[in-house]
Amino acid sequence: MNIPENLLYTKDHEWVKIEGDRATIGITDFAQHSLGDITFIDLPKPGAKVEQSKWCATVESVKAASDVYAPLSGEVLEANTELTDHPELINKSAYDTGWFALIKIADLGEKSRLMNSVQYKEYVQGLSK
Amino acid sequence: MQLIFEKSRPGREGFKLPEIDIPIASDMPAKYCREQPASLPEVSELDVVRHFSNLSRLNFSVDTNFYPLGSCTMKYNPKFTEKVASLEGFSDLHPLLPQLLGGGMLAQGSLEVLYNIEKLLSEITGMSAFTTQPLAGAHGELTGVMLIAAYHKHNGEQRKHVIIPDSAHGTNPASAAIAGYKVVVIPTDKDGFLDLQAYKKALNQETAAVMLTCPDTLGLFNPKIKEIADLAHGVGALMYYDGANLNAILGKCRPGDIGFDVMHINLHKTFATPHGGGGPGAGPVGVCEKLVDFLPISRVIRRADGTFALDYRKHKSIGYIAPFYGNFGVILKAYAYILSLGKSGLVEASENAVLSANYCLERLKNYYAPAYGKSCMHECVLSAEKQLEQGVHALDIAKYLIDRGFHPPTIYFPMIVKEAMMVEPTETESKETLDAFIEAMIEAAVLAQTNPEVLHQAPLSMPIKRLDETKAAREPNLRWQSK
């Protein structure tokens, strides 16, 4: 299971990479693996306001459609539109080319509700027991 | 297999038109005319007959093979009900007739069927009244939630959300959302039941309704169902019963007695009428006393002189939800089925449905991990988690069963069970059929250990081999195009 150390995580298996007041978000390797081949994605539009733990995107795989929740509140600056035609990038590279959106962070304090890589790893291991 | 377009040969004809003996003229403006002739297949009559005869032989149905598709109750549909539904007195009746002045007297038999089945369904479920209008289960759900909304509105209340467990059929949250409610999802506890703590926390004055399936999609009957209903009523919320799994409890317990206020029944499941594609379906909705006034119009009433009529004077009604009176042919078949089985027959049907499922569970539990518990109701949920260690998924086992002549069980539902396989054998299958299916399932489990590649390649015996479902979803190819 690939869980990069430099990212923060949610219980719903989203990751966030914080750089200054910007954050890149996506879903984890564990999430893409559980979903199976992703076939469709509905991304937030630039300018949209997203709220921590609230809906920000939908991914559909051969098994099911799942909501993706924003790990932090903020305004969407850019969405990875490449995913619309190539949703397989999420399966191939969940943390890199499979990123979902870049947001301008509204409240960095919300970071305290996220897990670091060690905590997330423990959390994921607990799930498979 | 070739498409009929691929069988086309230039100049081949199925019939000859007589010579045109009048001048060719058309008033059709040129802009509406085709630039090129339509690309229709050029085939002989025999080509057409063979093509469709052979296609029809590829049909898979309950009439040809075992179909244990969990949650769908694919029981055998007895043929006498088709005969009843095709009686001229019913089938030739114009649906507008009872709405015309005096026309109702020419449709007394059909009105009586509608009136009587409402009474029968009410008796079976313990509800006060039914409408037979909803055209399918999901339509029934939406109608039910609209009745709940009408009730709260009538009481001057603005309730905002509907509580639904995470094991629910997807139609439950969809119906609640379409009706304008927020959906609050409650997790399942370690025993496979609604997490009571989380439920109590979510339940408040803003709860419009709690939607439950019982037995639920895990095939389990919740022993705390009465407590759950009482808690909901305590805050003024209504209880919605998803009747998808009613086949498990006929004559054993009644949703109305438990405290459910609204419910739908899938006639095409419990009452043996054809399903979806071969349907149409029917999803009658039953309500408790306090919701009767809100039912959709028209209502079938019995006048003092014993005749039947349609009543539209219901000012609290949510109005029209379907043209005419629902899928009357389906209702008629269900009515015939209920009358033919009678009280004892219906009870026996449920008992045998539960017995069949438990037999499958018992014989398969050492090969596939049961999702929850030691016994089940009308369906059992198994997991291919053990097989996953060999890289074999529920999907591979499902495909292998196709090769063995069985329709696969429902897979990957309920979504809370990893590699779920949901088997619902129904009461209409013999022990020999169940045994043959169980043997095939056991063989798949053995192959997963010894030769998983066979499972990955299945099905091999079908005209179409393993489909690339990902490619089909990412690059759908929906129509034939000439090269």
Asked if B297 and B335 sit in the same domain, the reply is: yes
- Number of separate domains in chain B: 2
Asked if B162 and B298 sit in the same domain, the reply is: yes
Asked if B309 and B353 sit in the same domain, the reply is: no
For residue B139, give both structure tokens.
């339509």
Asked if B323 and B380 sit in the same domain, the reply is: no
CB contact under 8 A, A39 and B473: yes
CA B58 from chain center: how many Å? 23
Asked if B284 and B382 sit in the same domain, the reply is: no
pTM higher than 0.90: no
For residue B389, give both structure tokens.
């260690």
Q: Which residues of B touch A60 (CB under 8 A)?
A: 473
- pLDDT above 80: residue B323: yes
If interface means Cβ-Cβ distance under 8 Å, which residues of chain A face chain B? Answer: 37, 39-40, 60, 62-64, 87-88
CA A52 to chain B, closest CA, distance in angstroms equals 17
Asked if B322 and B368 sit in the same domain, the reply is: no
Who contacts B93 (Cβ-Cβ below 8 Å, separation ≥6)?
A: B107, B110
Place of tokens 């607990």: A126
Q: What is the CATH number of the domain that holds B292?
A: 3.40.640.10
Asked if B324 and B384 sit in the same domain, the reply is: no
Q: Is residue B214 part of a domain?
A: yes
CB contact under 8 A, A40 and B473: yes
- pLDDT above 80: residue B277: no
Taking the C-alpha atoms of residue B152 and residue B155, their distance in angstroms, rounded to an integer, is 5
B177 has a chain A CB within 8 A of its CB: no
Mutate to test the interface with B, among A32, A33, A39, A90 (most CBs of B within 10 A): A39
Who contacts B217 (Cβ-Cβ below 8 Å, separation ≥6)?
A: B71, B167, B168, B169, B245, B381, B413, B414, B422
Instruction: Please write the tens of the pLDDT for every residue from B353-394.
Output: 999 999 999 999 999 999 997 899 999 999 999 999 999 999
Q: Which residues of B touch A62 (CB under 8 A)?
A: 469-470, 473
Q: What average pLDDT score do residues B436-442 get?
A: 98
Out of A10-14, A82-86, B126-130, B464-468, least confident range? B464-468
CA A92 to chain B, closest CA, distance in angstroms equals 14
Q: Is residue B224 part of a domain?
A: yes
Given this model, what pLDDT does residue B324 score? 87
Closest Cα in chain A to B471: A39
Asked if B89 and B207 sit in the same domain, the reply is: yes
Given this model, what pLDDT does residue A70 score? 96
Q: What is the band of A86 on the pLDDT scale with cuts at 50, 70, 90?
A: very high
Peptide bond into B280 cis (omega under 30): yes
B412 has a chain A CB within 8 A of its CB: yes
Asked if B326 and B422 sit in the same domain, the reply is: no
DSSP string, A16-66: EEEETTEEEEEE-HHHHHHH-SEEEEEPPPTT-EE-BTSEEEEEEESS-EE
Residue B179: give the domain boundaries: 82-339
With the CA atoms of B59, B140, B319 and B260 taken in that order, what torsion angle do they form, in degrees rounded to the nearest 10?
160
Q: Could you give the 3-state DSSP secondary structure of residue B336?
A: helix
For residue B171, give both structure tokens.
């139609």
Q: What average pLDDT score do residues B388-407 get?
A: 96
Among the partner residues A37, A62, A64, nearest to B415 by beta-carbon distance: A64
- pLDDT above 60: residue B30: yes
CA A63 to chain B, closest CA, distance in angstroms equals 7
Q: Could you tell me the maximum CA-CA distance found in chain A, to the nearest angstrom?
A: 41
Instruction: Please write the tens of the pLDDT for every residue from B40-87.
Output: 999 999 999 999 999 999 989 999 999 999 999 999 999 999 999 999
Out of A60-74, A108-122, B125-139, B265-279, least confident range? B265-279
Q: Could you give the 3-state DSSP secondary structure of residue A110?
A: helix
Q: Is residue B246 part of a domain?
A: yes
Q: Is residue B192 part of a domain?
A: yes
Instruction: Please write the tens of the pLDDT for every residue from A3-55.
Output: 999 999 999 999 999 999 999 999 999 999 988 899 999 999 999 999 999 99
Taking the C-alpha atoms of residue B39 and residue A129, their distance in angstroms, rounded to an integer, is 59
Distances (CA, A) of B471 to A27, A41, B143: 22, 15, 37
- pLDDT above 80: residue B193: yes
With the CA atoms of B387, B393, B398 and B403 taken in that order, what torsion angle do they form, in degrees rounded to the nearest 10?
-80
Q: What is the band of B222 on the pLDDT scale with cuts at 50, 70, 90?
A: very high
- pLDDT above 90: residue B227: yes
Q: Could you give the 3-state DSSP secondary structure of residue A91?
A: helix
Q: What is the CATH number of the domain that holds B356?
A: 3.90.1150.10
Q: Is residue B40 part of a domain?
A: no
Residue finishing a domain among B292, B318, B339:
B339
Could you tell me whether strands B182-186 and B161-165 are parallel, antiparallel, or unpaired per DSSP bridges? parallel
Which amino acid is located at B316 in the chain?
K
Residue finishing a domain among B339, B364, B390:
B339
Q: Could you give the 3-state DSSP secondary structure of residue B372?
A: coil
For residue A22, give both structure tokens.
């910007």
CA A62 to chain B, closest CA, distance in angstroms equals 6
Query: In which element (H, E) is residue B130 found?
Result: strand B129-131
Distances (CA, A) of A88 to A45, A85, B468: 20, 9, 14
Contact predicate B221/B215, CB 8 Å = yes
Given this model, what pLDDT does residue B278 score? 55
Asked if B305 and B378 sit in the same domain, the reply is: no
CB contact under 8 A, A39 and B412: no
Asked if B201 and B251 sit in the same domain, the reply is: yes
Q: Is residue B423 part of a domain?
A: yes
Who contacts A27 (Cβ-Cβ below 8 Å, separation ≥6)?
A: A13, A14, A15, A59, A68, A90, A94, A98, A100
DSSP state of A72: S
Q: How does the average pLDDT of chain B come out, rounded? A: 94
Q: Is residue B141 part of a domain?
A: yes
Place of tokens 């298996």: A13
Q: Is residue B448 part of a domain?
A: yes
Could you tell me whether strands A65-69 and A14-19 are parallel, antiparallel, or unpaired per DSSP bridges? unpaired
Taking the C-alpha atoms of residue B67 and residue B63, their distance in angstroms, rounded to an integer, is 9
Among the partner residues A39, A63, A64, nearest to B474 by beta-carbon distance: A39
CA B24 from chain center: how many Å? 52
CA B335 from chain center: how many Å? 18
- Quote the percentage of chain B above a pLDDT of 90: 86
Q: What average pLDDT score do residues A92-119 get?
A: 96
Among the partner residues B412, B415, B470, nearest to A39 by beta-carbon distance: B470
B190 has a chain A CB within 8 A of its CB: no
Distances (CA, A) of B461 to B50, B157, B400, B457, B464: 21, 59, 10, 11, 8
Q: What are phi and psi of A115, to 5 degrees?
A: -100, 150
Given this model, what pLDDT does residue B440 score? 98
Which amino acid is located at B288 in the chain?
C
Asked if B290 and B308 sit in the same domain, the reply is: yes
Residue finishing a domain among B339, B374, B389:
B339
